[in-house]
Amino acid sequence: MTLPAPPRGEVLISVGDPERDKAPSYVAALEHAGVPSDRIRVIQPKPGEDYRSLVLAAAGLVLAGGEDLDPALYGEETLPEANVDVLPERDAMELELLAGAREARIPVWGVCRGLQMLNVFFGGTLWQDLALQLPTQVLHQMSNPEDALIHTIRVTDPRVTLGELLRREAPLVNSRHHQGIKDLGRGLVPVGHAPDGLVEAIYLDDDQWWVRAVQWHPENLIALAQQRALWEAFARRLGFVADDGPGHPTQLPRSIQSTQTEHRAAGPTQLNQGGNTP
Q: Which amino acid type is present at position 55?
A: V
pLDDT at 255 over 80: no
The C-alpha atoms of residue 123 and residue 217 are separated, in whole angstroms, by 23
Q: How many domains does one find in the chain?
A: 1
CATH number of the domain that 129 lies in?
Answer: 3.40.50.880
Contact 80, 51 (CB under 8 A): no
pLDDT at 258 over 80: no
Known active-site residue 217: yes
The active-site residue out of 112, 178, 232, 263 is 112
pTM value is 0.85
Known active-site residue 219: yes
Residue 115: inside a domain: yes
- Kindly list the distances between the CA atom of residue 50 and the CA atoms of 54, 79, 102, in Å, as whole numbers in the listed order: 6, 33, 16
What DSSP element (H or E) covers 115?
helix 113-121
Show Cβ contacts of residue 256 under 8 Å, excluding neighbours closer than 6 positions.
32, 222, 223
Mean pLDDT, residues 132-141 taken together: 76
Residue 149: inside a domain: yes
Contact 132, 79 (CB under 8 A): yes
The C-alpha atoms of residue 117 and residue 42 are separated, in whole angstroms, by 18
The active-site residue out of 193, 217, 232, 263 is 217
pLDDT in tens, 200-228: 999 999 999 999 999 999 999 999 999 99
Residue 276: inside a domain: no
What pLDDT score was predicted for residue 20? 61
Beta strands in the chain, from DSSP E residues, in sequence order? 11-14, 40-43, 60-63, 108-111, 126-127, 151-152, 154-155, 172-173, 180-181, 188-193, 199-204, 211-214
The C-alpha atoms of residue 14 and residue 21 are separated, in whole angstroms, by 12
Mean pLDDT, residues 42-57 taken together: 95
Which neighbouring-strand residues pair with 62?
Answer: 13, 109
**Which range marks the domain in which residue 15 is found?**
11-271
DSSP assignment string, 140-165? -B--SSTT---EE-EE--TTSHHHHH
pLDDT in tens, 143-201: 678 888 888 899 998 888 899 999 888 789 988 889 999 999 999 999 999 988 999 99
Residue 2: inside a domain: no
Contact 230, 168 (CB under 8 A): no
pLDDT at 57 over 90: yes
What pLDDT score was predicted for residue 253? 41
Residue 5: inside a domain: no
Residue 91: inside a domain: yes
Residue 203: inside a domain: yes
Which neighbouring-strand residues pair with 108?
Answer: 61, 211
Nearest to 28 by CA among 265, 228, 254, 247: 228
pLDDT more than 90, % of the chain: 65
The active-site residue out of 19, 94, 219, 232 is 219
What pLDDT score was predicted for residue 234? 97
Nearest to 236 by CA among 173, 164, 161, 158: 161
Output the CA torsion sign for 271, 254, 62, 45.
Answer: positive
Residue 278: inside a domain: no
Mean pLDDT, residues 26-54 taken together: 96
